[in-house]
Structures are given as structure tokens and as C-alpha cells.
Structure 1
């Protein structure tokens, strides 16, 4: 099969990943397309080969499951041979479990994936209360700052306990020491969350150095990478691994 240009490939991947949400209504479909096309972290986790070849996933604060649809679409295109030559192989999810506090998002996910999907399971729940089980990858994207510092520490402790040697914890946080970009991030956060039908009373943020020190205290090796792609934000991706 002819190798696609990156632009053409990403457009095809976006179409494939957002297709399941057509059945969830106008908002679900366009929200997924907007998020997956505008947020560079989805592209970068594939392009950089951050994820294991085969893995069990737990996404905390998963929303309507856009990350899961992205991973499944990537694997489908990879197996069909339609994949950039200079990208690592697409990961193969063995199970995709999501936990989401907002019932509306869980309902959208149910309409997108169906109730009997062989890999995907998204449930309504609070990450501060649910059992994480045992998985290979835990993701918390832009959600750790929604609850207080004591709960942050507890979630990180339980995340570490859920992962085996070599396991991966992937998160993205805002750097509270970044000045104006940090305040812009918070404004966008409040706006997007309001559009999704929820209001944030308060955010519990930290500086990047504080986030890194906190996560390292639970035994992770932490790598940091700004994840803004030219936008005036203060988002940083943290790639946190359990020593093998």
C-alpha cells in the first residue's frame, strides 16, 4: 500500500477515530473531532511510541472515551498497512477501561462503543473511590488538579500500586509557575468543562517542579515534555515509568 503523507494520514486517522461518536449525537461527534484534531498529545503518544506493544489500559477522567477511539483507530489503520513508515508500530490495546465522573459523558461513550464492546468498558465513577485493579498503563490527562492535594497523593499512590515493573503512568499537568500561560490554561479549562455540563469550584494546581517531585516520591522515573504545540498554554506531559 502507498504510504500516506502525514497530513493525509492524520486526517484519515481523525475520521476513523471520530466515526463511532456519530451515533452519540451532534455534540459527541464534533467534540471528539475538535479534541482529537487540536490536541497534539494524541498524535505525539503514537508518533513517539510511548505506549507498550500490548497493554491493559486504565484512563481516569476519560470523558466520552476519545483516547480509546483514537487508539483503536490507530491499530486498525496499522493492521491494514496504512501507517507512516517513520512511526513506531501502533499499540494493540488488550483492554480499555475508563472511569468518568460525569454521567453524560458515560452515556455518550455507551452510544459510541456499545454496551458489549470486546475491549472497551467505560463506567461512571470517582477516581478517588474506584478500585484501579491491575493494568499496564494508567492515563490521567488534565484532571489531577480537579481535586485537593491529599486526594492527588492518594490517586498517585494507588496508580503506582496498580502498575507492574515497567508500567507506564502518562499524565498532563499545568505548570503553576508559568505565569500568563498558566492562567490562560485555567480559563480554557473552566470553559471546556462548562461546555461539557460541569462547573469547577476550584483548581488545585502545582508548579512543574512540585508535580515532578510528588510523582517521583511514589517510585516513578519521570520525564517531562511541554505539550502545547505553539499555543499560549502551560501544559506539560509527564511520562512516568515504574523501574523494570
Structure 2
């Protein structure tokens, strides 16, 4: 992976969050610079060339800024050899439950951005529209298992044939690494100004079983890097 390119991309993608204050900016820099799932989204083309992307639990929109920055750098001729083609999104829609995050997104992207729209809402209740790819990064475990399953069913119904669902979960069967991961999650949530949540985590095998029963082809990959976590990325494509 091109480390110089990643550094330039992080600088470009995080700069827009300066408008939201120091927390918004440094949170984006930390997330985009050190969370490898964002790097894999680009280098491996995990969104499958989708032009319409829906991010549920989108926070302040760090993923969208990342995708836009990548598109702009590719248009200027800066793209690492061997990577999947650069994203070409035309509609980036986020749904976020926390008003403070939605406000930070508004400050970063403006109220009338031609591509990005982040709405205040509950991902378990909001209309999903007609996306080509849906992402939920580290948010599914904030809702109970029944609502998780109902939401996964609605996501499958919203996606076209070949559509992509990308999520990351904490594998509840991973022993002590899972408990470390859960503890860090609660600390980060509290630091963002939210109440400590009750988490509804499940074993990887159970997630895979539910998704495959809905008609997804599922692959998974450890996303913990060198950290003692139990983060697993699930890349799901509609059969």
C-alpha cells in the first residue's frame, strides 16, 4: 500500500472538518489515518464501483469525505498502481442518530453539497431508498438483535442484484480480544459526547448465517491490524 499516497489522502479528506472545530478535524484524521478499513475500501474496491452509497450510522461523514478526496486525487492523475479503480460516487447519503454529528457534517460539507447529504434519523426506521452499496461501520451492535435482523432484511431488499453491503462487527466468539474491543468502543462513544451504550454483539458465525440466509455471498476479513481487538469486516454481495 502506498504510504505517501495515504498521507496525502488523509490530509485532503480531513481538511474539510476544520470548519467543525478541533474535535471534528482530529477525529477525522485519526479515523482515516489509522483505521485500515478505509484504506481497504479503496485499494480493494470494496464498494464495487457503486455510484449511490448509503452509510447508516454515518457520524460526521468521514467515509464520504474519504471517497470524495479519492475521486478528486484520481481525477488529477494521482492513483496508486495496482489498486482497484477509484470511486465514482454521484450520491452519498448518510443517516445518523446523533444531532451533534449531523451538525459537524453540515459544517464540513455545507447545507447544499451536490453529492453528500447526511440526515438526522434512526437507521432502523428511515427509508433506505435505492442505493447500490450500503455501509454500516461499527454501528449495528448499538441496536438489539431483532432490529439488527429487520434492518439487514431491509438492506437486502433495497439493494439490486450485485449490490454490496459492507459492515464491521465485533466477533463475540473471539474471547478476551472481544472484551478489549468492547471496552475501547465504549470509551470512544463516551468521548464523542454520547451516553455509554448497551452493546448487542454476536458471534461471527451467526452474522454470516443470517446474511447468507438473506441471499448474500459473504466473505470476511480480520480488521484488527496489530491491535488486540476482535473487529471483523463482512463484505456481502447480493447473489
TM-score bin, normalised by smaller chain: over 0.9
The answer on whether the counterparts of 2:132 and 2:160 sit within 8 Å (CA) in structure 1 is yes
Q: Offset of 1:85 from its aligned partner? A: 1.1
Q: Pick from 40, 44, 55: which aligns with 1:48?
A: 44
The answer to whether structure 1 residue 110 and structure 2 residue 106 are counterparts is yes
Q: Offset of 1:201 from its aligned partner? A: 3.4
Q: TM-score, normalised by structure 2?
A: 0.98
Aligned position for 2:73: 77
Q: TM-score, normalised by structure 1?
A: 0.96
Local SS of the residue matching 1:93: coil
Give the aligned length.
Answer: 239
Q: Distance in 1 between matches of 2:50 and 2:183?
A: 37
> Any gaps of 5 or more consecutive residues in structure 2?
none
The answer on whether the counterparts of 2:186 and 2:197 sit within 8 Å (CA) in structure 1 is no
> Any gaps of 5 or more consecutive residues in structure 1?
none
Q: Offset of 1:215 from its aligned partner? A: 1.2
The answer to whether structure 1 residue 212 and structure 2 residue 189 are counterparts is no
Q: Distance in 1 between matches of 2:157 and 2:50?
A: 20
Runs of 4+ in 1 over 4 A off after TM superposition: none
The answer to whether structure 1 residue 128 and structure 2 residue 124 are counterparts is yes
The answer on whether the counterparts of 2:135 and 2:165 sit within 8 Å (CA) in structure 1 is yes
Local SS of the residue matching 1:92: coil
1:164-205 Cα deviation digits (max 9, x unpaired): 000000000011010111001100110000011112331111
Q: Offset of 1:86 from its aligned partner? A: 1.6
Aligned position for 1:221: 217
Q: Distance in 2 between matches of 1:54 and 1:238?
A: 17
1:129-175 Cα deviation digits (max 9, x unpaired): 10001110000011111111110011001100110000000000011
The answer on whether the counterparts of 1:94 and 1:119 sit within 8 Å (CA) in structure 2 is yes
Aligned position for 2:156: 160
Q: Distance in 1 between matches of 2:46 and 2:146?
A: 29
Q: Offset of 1:52 from its aligned partner? A: 2.5
Local SS of the residue matching 2:218: strand
